[in-house]
Amino acid sequence: MKFKLVSDFKPTGDQPQAIKKLVSNIEKDVKHQVLLGVTGSGKTFTMANVIEKIQRPTLVISHNKTLAAQLYQEFRDFFPRNAVSYFVSYYDYYQPEAYIPQSDTYIEKEAEVNEEIDKLRLSATTNLLTRKDVIVVASVSCIYNLGSPVEYGKFVLELKPGMQTDLKSIMVRLTDLQYERNEYTFERGSFRVRGETIDLFPAYKDTGIRIEIRNNKLYKLSEFSPLTGDTSSILKSTVIYPAKHYMTDPQTYKQVESLKSIDKNLEAHRLEQRTNFDLEMIKEVGYVNGIENYSRYFDGRASGQAPYTLLDYFNHASKDFLTIVDESHITLPQIRGMYNGDQSRKNTLIDYGFRLPSALDNRPLKFAEFMQRVSQIAYVSATPDEYELSLAGYSHLPGGIAPAAHPDKLS
């Protein structure tokens, strides 16, 4: 489906020229542009017009959840028929794992996950793997480790009426995809069984999927309301995506044994105890809280190699996506600072035997890594910093556009 902008308004003032110049520069493969605009100046409408004209997947990055939510709603209003997604941290409360050597105090990780935001995050990545008309409005959470899009895309269950299958086979596959059987509470990420019928609540949707089996064949697929149970549509086919982003291929379980051998060389008993428990959980059920700390082994990454993030989902789907950095004078410094703060805390945990060194690779991107993973960027700011202005060549045009004139400068 193509992007289709829905609005009663038409571009006015400097907007038509700004839109024309932005689109022209994008089509000329200009990497960096600056759009001058303050809140209330119609900058979102300007960018919406650009997206409709270039017809490319677009990532919009904001520096906090509140502004991201506002932009998400605005883009949803402009593109009601397209896949507009929201990707921010899913924690309502988050106390990171930490250790304070001076007082010998270990602080266990505490977190409260917002289920609705978790659904929206999963919906964003699913959209990127299945559609081209995708806008994702994100906070700087988009530069944090998310797991490989290739691995995530492998773990799918394709269903079509008439296919040979049985109840047990589908239940096993759903469990592999991290869906939990729950006969009492039908909630997101769970399934229940009634005779030869499986009701599934996908982790990334608001509707359920009913899978009916007859005589070892998939007899019928339908979509229904989890609240009322009423059928909303009959499906000719469907693809079920995992309930969690971190997935482990059974082939990678061989890595578990090599990890254990690494542990034997470590003297810290608490490290061996914690790691062995985590690895046994991964081996038995394919998941454990904190699995991201071992993700480099399952992703096949070398020590120090950049993690997979939302940007990799964009690159996996389309190399020519557009990135819009909103209020770039605040957002870019935030992206720059994430890596150092994360490494400092984890080094202490590793030094005192609470985590394997691989925890360092569960991290946000470095700034240079971020810049390498984006294709073309529009920096939106009323007061752009020297950095983005230098990338855009300092050349301001009517409408607040500065086209790139210099090679990329990473810092």
Asked whether residue 171 is domain-assigned, the answer is yes
On whether both 21 and 70 belong to a single domain, the answer is yes
The whole domain housing 40 covers 15-151+288-293+321-403
Total domain count, the chain: 2
Phi, psi of 287 (to 5 degrees): -160, 150
Give 179's strand partners: none
On whether both 74 and 144 belong to a single domain, the answer is yes
Domain ends where: 224, 240, 256?
240
Cα of 251 vs its chain's centroid, Å = 24
Tokens found for residue 316: 């996996």
Phi, psi of 87 (to 5 degrees): -135, 100
Tokens found for residue 252: 């990678």
On whether both 325 and 220 belong to a single domain, the answer is no
Give the per-residue pLDDT at 100: 82
On whether both 217 and 109 belong to a single domain, the answer is no
For the chain, what is the total number of helices (H) and then of strands (E)? 13, 19
On whether both 110 and 167 belong to a single domain, the answer is no
Identity (one letter) of the amino acid at 54?
Answer: I
Share of the chain above pLDDT 90, in %: 57
Contact 262, 254 (CB under 8 A): no
Give the per-residue pLDDT at 110: 75
Inform me whether the pLDDT recorded for 128 exceeds 60: yes
On whether both 130 and 49 belong to a single domain, the answer is yes
Tokens found for residue 236: 């000719």
> What is the reported pTM?
0.85
- CA–CA dist 252, 62 (Å, integer): 36
Inform me whether the pLDDT recorded for 398 exceeds 50: no
Contact 373, 311 (CB under 8 A): yes
User: The CATH number of the domain where 229 resides is what?
Assistant: 3.30.2060.10
Inform me whether the pLDDT recorded for 267 exceeds 90: no
On whether both 86 and 179 belong to a single domain, the answer is no
For 175-179, 220-224, 244-248, 279-283, which range has the lowest pLDDT when averaged over its residues? 279-283
- Of the ranges 10-14, 132-136, 304-308, which is most confident? 132-136
Give the per-residue pLDDT at 401: 52
Which tens digits make up the pLDDT trace of 73-83? 999 999 999 99
Inform me whether the pLDDT recorded for 101 exceeds 90: no
On whether both 77 and 164 belong to a single domain, the answer is no
- Of the ranges 209-213, 272-276, 336-340, 345-349, which is most confident? 209-213
Asked whether residue 307 is domain-assigned, the answer is no
Count of beta carbons in the 10 Å neighbourhood of residue 233: 10
On whether both 120 and 181 belong to a single domain, the answer is no
Inform me whether the pLDDT recorded for 150 exceeds 90: no
